[in-house]
Copies of this chain bind each other. A is one copy, B any other.
Amino acid sequence: MATSVSVELPASIQLPTLSAKYEHLRVNALRTNATLEAACAWGNTPDGGMNRLASNDDDKRVRDWFIAETSKLGCHHKIDAMGNIFAIRPGQNNALAPIGLGSHLDTQPTGGKYDGILGVVSAMEVLQTIHENNITTYAPLAVIDWTNEEGARFPPAMLCSGVWGGAFTTEYGHSRTDPEGRTLKAELERIGYLGETECSFQANPLTAHFEVHIEQGPVLDQAEEAAAVVKGVQSIRWYNLGLVGREAHTGTTPMDRRSDALLGAAKMIVETNRFVTEGEIAARGGRATIAVINSSPQSINTIAGHVDFGLDIRAPADSDVELIEAMCRKRFAEICDEIGLEMTFDNFWVSTAVNFDPTMIECVRSSAREIGCMTELVSGAGHDSVYTNKKVPTAMIFVRCRDGVSHNPAEYTRPEDCAAGAQVLLGAYLRYDDYLRRAAAKM
């Protein structure tokens, strides 16, 4: 799925190794956390969380700070038409596109200090570590702030990495509006971040993309590991289901003469859960959830004649999502027959599985093992890396977050885990940079 267009790599290159000269390199844990605090100076909330919607005044202030800080570390900047900022530190071979280390500085309206911000801060710490050690990397390095990843102000999510990756046009991105009707283009212009660089991989390429992100799930917390290799992003399909039974009086209608749409929905929820908690689908990480449900009429003594619900199916492999869907369709139809219901089953959104680049994954794996982290995950949520992966080799690093809580002021990652994520990023990045150097030498 990921394709490398900047460099053609011979298969003979052994992967990955870290040059002996870099083995001593360590990120600075205190500095990493100080940078994180600095990055949260604008838009923080009294409850310890963040409210920094894309392209608002606080987003402008943190962007100004980001440019100032990365300028001190030898970077020049490209700002593209979607406001994505590339802080570029030259390397030995500046004909090569930079290796990107990116994430986002915008947050949910009731978000935390780690989602996205930790990814940019980790990249800044890698930059600073390299800079203070006077290292000349082979490829240039780009620390990237992707605009409006959350999509909380300008839906959809991952909008501007999506434009860069070709999923959306710039025109589409510019025309997205917030609830007050202001367009993203106008708001970027207002804060001075409507850049002149065309927003696309073609006009402003990268060679690869690494991203650190909090897990937003409980696996690392329970595994008691600080960081994990992320091998891809789950396949996802969303469905709206409608059931029509027959409204009738709960008192006067015998149990065997009912067409109870809510009973049907309940059986479907229980069966769906069973499909993904038993056998091979469970072992392969299939997930299925029904969270939204509405019944009508809302009367305690009238049997529900109509029930609508949403179904969310996920798995690392597209084929498992398809299998779970097929199991649901078959079993739901049987339940409808048993109870006497009509059903509509609408698949309104599909996101196919994302498989990150094996070489990039190996760089992360090797680096993570150095600090004792063995967990490997498939992301359950979307990230900017989903869209960079459409154009360049991509991989991600997840960092433990307490109780898996995210999109909430209570979101929390321990200082030592923030530093661990940056350390894994440093090692993975240096491995990939060295890989490019060796690949070029062989060509």
- A residues engaging B (CB < 8 A)? 215-219, 222, 234, 236, 238, 248-257, 260, 262-263, 265-267, 269-270, 273, 276-277, 282, 285, 287, 289-295, 297-304, 310, 312, 314, 379-381, 404, 406-407
Contact = CB atoms under 8 A, between A and B. Distances in A.
A342 to B, nearest CB: 17
A257 B404 CA distance: 10
Contacts of A222: 257
Contacts of A299: 291-292
23 contacts: A216-B249, A216-B252, A217-B252, A219-B254, A250-B291, A250-B314, A251-B381, A253-B287, A253-B404, A254-B287, A255-B276, A260-B289, A262-B293, A263-B269, A263-B270, A266-B266, A270-B270, A291-B295, A291-B298, A291-B299, A292-B300, A294-B294, A300-B312
A244 B59 CA distance: 36
A291 B277 contact: no
Contact of A266 (B218, B265, B298, B406): B265
A231 to B, nearest CB: 14
B250 A289 contact: yes
Given A219-B254, A312-B250, A292 B287 contact: no
A260 B289 CA distance: 9
B251 A287 contact: yes
B253 A218 contact: yes
The SS class assigned to the A binding surface is: mixed
A293 B291 CA distance: 12
B381 A249 contact: yes
B380 A250 contact: yes
A250 B406 CA distance: 12
B291 A262 contact: yes
Instruction: List the number of copies, as a whole number.
Output: 2
* Across the A-B interface, the 5 shortest Cβ-Cβ residue pairs: A251-B380, A217-B252, A266-B269, A252-B380, A250-B289
Contacts of A256: 277
Given A218-B253, A262-B290, A270 B273 contact: no
Given A249-B404, A266-B269, A303 B289 contact: yes
Given A251-B380, A255-B287, A266-B270, 9 more contacts: A217-B254, A234-B251, A250-B291, A253-B380, A262-B290, A291-B295, A291-B303, A292-B298, A292-B299
A298 B273 CA distance: 19
A36 to B, nearest CB: 21
Nearest to A298: B292
Nearest to A307: B293
A263 B273 contact: yes
Nearest to A382: B251
B293 A301 contact: no
B300 A310 contact: yes
Nearest to A218: B257
Contacts of A379: 251-252
A316 to B, nearest CB: 11
A196 to B, nearest CB: 36
A338 to B, nearest CB: 11
A250 B295 contact: no
Contacts of A285: 254
A249 B380 contact: yes
A248 B380 CA distance: 12
A267 to B, nearest CB: 6
B404 A252 contact: yes
Contacts of A238: 300-301
Q: Which of A249, A260, A380 has its CB near the most chain B CB atoms (within 10 A)?
A: A249
Contacts of A260: 273, 289, 291
Contacts of A406: 249, 252
